Each structure stands twice: as C-alpha cells, then as structure tokens.
Amino acid sequence: MEGFFATGAFAAAALSASAVARTSAPPNEGIAQLYSYRLEDRAAFEAAYRAHLGWHARNGDPLVWYAWTVQTGPRRGLFIDATAGTGLAALDRRVKPAEDSADFRRTAAPHAEAVDVETWELWAEVSTATPLEDQRPSAIVDVFRLDVGPRDTAAFERAMTAVGRPGGRSGVRLSWYRRLRGGDGPAYFVMLARDDWAGLAAGRSFPALLKHAYGADDGEVDHVLGQVSRLSVEIWKYEPRLSLIPGRPLAP
C-alpha cells in the first residue's frame, strides 16, 4: 500500500462508453495498483500492518485496500495488497502521502521486503464481473497472467473481444485487466472469483474457463491463445483482517 515505490506518470486509455455502461464505473476509474512483499516475520508484519491500516481509517482514506496471500507457484507466500476501482488522478491525491509513508516505514516495513508495484487497467468489455471495483472480494481468486508480444496485442484483443461477446456469458465471475506499468512488455491478468474449491467447476483449465464463461468454441479459444506467449496461474487467498474497505470497520 505504501511507498517503497513512486507511482510516476501513467498513460491510460479511457474506458469506452459501452464498458462504462456495463460496469457502472465512471471513465478512468478502472485502475488497480498492486504492491507485493516478501514477509520476514508474518506474525509481526500482520500486527504492524493492521496498525498501519488503522492510520488509513483514522485519516479517512477513500481508497479501498485489499490483501491476499499467494498460495501456489514460485511466488508462494508473497503478500499482495492493492487498491482497485480508483483513477489515476485519485492516486495523485492520496491522503497525506508523506505521513502515510512515514507510518508504513515505522510499522510494517521493518517486517517485509518490497518486491514490486504494478498498475493495471480494468478491461471492462470482456469482464463478466467486477468484484474488486464493487467492493465485494471473494474468498479465493485464481489469477491467470497472459504475456502477449507487442506486435500481437491488437490481434489478441480482437480475438478476445469476439469471444467475450455479450450473451455468451454464464455467470462465471471473471475480471480482466491490462498492464499499464510494471513487468516486461504487454500483459493481461484475469481473476476468477470463487469462494471454494467447487468454484473450479467454472473451468479446470484456462481454455475450459473461456468455453464455460463465454460459450466459446475450440476455434475461438485457439485464436485467443495463439497470440499468447506465456500463460501462468496462481491461487490467491483473501485476507479480510489485512484489508480495509471505506465505511467498514477493520475486521477483528
């Protein structure tokens, strides 16, 4: 949530009018910023981080702050916090940023090693749900990350837009994001929101997920995946005690 990282200047395209209508989000409010940390002493970090969340609550921070622990893959154990459903201008108008930074350094920072910060934009046109923007996080998210070559992004987006047609959706909660900053080259991530293992019935593989969520056929799925240079997946567990949603008390 804090400031080992400068946000810098970001170039973001405005969401289309149709995307705004489907998500009820105003233009440029589909920004998610994710921070990741390795924890040196988890118990000490959690106590200190909750104290830092208290600073945000006392100072009336309007941003939502979610937290997850990565459960699978090479990044297993990583702590991730994020704000979502905000705008670039709102990131520039953070509440008392110098005090925020000082409080984080005093409380949580001694127990964690900063890894990365990434800025993403909601791809509303192909998302079937927006639980983070709606402040309704699920207990578990499967996070699929897709790397796409710079010359393949237009073809990939055309193929995925064709698959993500309205009316072909089955109630599976998928949120798509485009990477604006962080990492190497163009990338997308897809969050499957679920509350238990039974939620994997939405699709046990990414191709199966596309078929189930959108009613896509094999040829359409192959067209999408043909533009993808790398696909990886992680499971993230939501941490309600380490999250802060404006207007709600910190979970005990």
Q: 1 falls in which pLDDT band (50, 70, 90)? A: low
* pLDDT tens digits, 23-63: 333 444 899 999 999 998 999 999 999 999 999 999 999 99
* pLDDT tens digits, 119-175: 999 999 999 999 999 999 999 999 999 999 999 999 999 999 999 987 777 889 999
Place of tokens 């959690």: 46
Residue-level pLDDT at 29: 81
Is the pLDDT at 4 greater than 60? The verdict is no
* pLDDT tens digits, 173-185: 999 999 999 888 8
Q: 203 falls in which pLDDT band (50, 70, 90)? A: confident
Q: Indicate the average pLDDT of the chain.
A: 88
CA distance 139 to 126: 22
CA distance 205 to 227: 17
